[in-house]
Amino acid sequence: MTARLAVVILSLWCAACVGGPRTGTCDWSETPSFALDLNKAPDRRHLNDDARAAEELAIRYADATRGHRSGRFAGMDEYRRTRDRCLAALSIGIASHHGIRADEIADAIGRRDGGLDAVVLLFFVALYGWVATGAARGLVERFPQDEPWPAAVGTAVAAVFASAAAVIVGGLGSMLVEMVRLGDTHLSYRAGRLPWQQHWLSLFLGGVMTFCFIAAVVRWRDRRAVVER
């Protein structure tokens, strides 16, 4: 299982690494031009895709022309100005292309794909539940039914460490998924938008409570099995 998971992670990482070359252009070249009706869901999705592509293009442009490896790095302030100027120019191009206002594009930039975020969260929740169940069974073997207080302390400590590890692994995993989705290993400030980064404390506390609940269920089942023997 561990080896398979490592292969999957490595494959996703390689996919992100080859996501596409850096570009030194800052032009919006989508064809043909057509008007968007933002009252329609498909058109809103199209705008969100365009906004995401424009932001990616602006970051790649800044990386190529003012990034650390560009040979023309002049400080982070200049890098950010270059990126923001490019994004503003691309937003104007998209607005002209689709007959909408530039501020409508600005509103769409950074908008998350709720469906993908939910899938990533559910995957890691399921993985965490599987690992927590195995750990809880180990605690039952280590602390039998006649040692309730050591079992409670051991469960609390294990819950804290397991949840902290899960938040770290989940955060790295969500970043990896985002790299693959964008085709770019340089997330820049976009990493801060990930739900895992924004709600890490809630996820940690939820992980602690989930581990304790799973441990209680596993211990209850073990106690019932002992009684039935």
Which pLDDT score is estimated for 229? Answer: 66
Q: Model confidence at 146, in pLDDT bands (50, 70, 90)?
A: confident
Residue 146's alpha-carbon distances to 83, 102, 211, in angstroms, are: 64, 68, 21
Which pLDDT score is estimated for 16? Answer: 41
pLDDT per position as a tens digit, 57-100: 999 999 999 998 889 999 999 999 999 999 999 999 999 999 99
Q: Model confidence at 120, in pLDDT bands (50, 70, 90)?
A: very high
pLDDT per position as a tens digit, 151-201: 999 999 999 999 999 999 999 999 999 999 888 888 889 999 999 999 999
CA proximity to 212, closest of 174, 159, 144, 173: 159
Q: Is 31 helix (H, G, I), strand (E, B) or coil?
A: coil
pTM of the model as a whole = 0.76
- Domain boundaries in the chain? 20-108, 114-228
Q: Model confidence at 225, in pLDDT bands (50, 70, 90)?
A: confident
**Is pLDDT at 214 greater than 50 in this prediction?**
yes
